[in-house]
Amino acid sequence: MDLLIVLSVVVVGFGLVGFSLLLRKLAGGPQTLPVTAEWIDELSVERYRPMLRLLSEDDLRFLAAQPGYTPAVARRFRAQRCQIFRGYLRWLQTDFDRVCTALRLLMLHSQHDRPDLAAILLKQRVTFTVGMLHIHVRLVMYRWGLSGVDVESVMSAFDSLRVELRHMVPAASGAQI
């Protein structure tokens, strides 16, 4: 009985901490981003193309054909590739969050309601988040040689929001929001 009370208090405590962190993030000060056509164009998916080949099995097959290859070399190679890949994922997450923030700010300051854009934003956010969770699970499996990793779903979610943002910001506009 006492263990049940202690566990309940711990679970409620973690819930309150999580809720307070969420409120703190949502209640943060006003955000501004340099939303210009040039800034949006810098967010191209092309900067993430090397990530698509980073976990290719071709490199491992080449490595296995070299003299001095051992399973320890393959493990170290996979670990290094996973570390680099996670760096790309962090950059992609940051860029996705910046595009989402810019879209929300544009919708907030718009004189017209855009429920269609809000729905697209929500759908792509869910797609991106679920895709990132899936990638992280598959990345752990890749590290141990069990599977490959597919990033197409998160890349397409990112690119579709980037294109929406690009359509909302005219090329001649140098204004920032």
Give the tens place of pLDDT for each residue, 30-62: 455 556 667 777 777 888 888 888 888 888 889
Mean pLDDT of the chain: 81
pLDDT-based confidence at residue 23 (cuts at 50, 70, 90) = low
Query: Who's near 138: CB < 8 A, 6+ residues apart?
Result: 147, 148, 149, 150
Cα dihedral value 85, 87, 88, 93, nearest 10: 130
Considering the entire predicted model, what is its pTM?
A: 0.70
The CA dihedral of 151, 133, 39, 30, to the nearest 10 degrees, is: 170
- Under 8 Å between Cβ of 54 and 88: yes
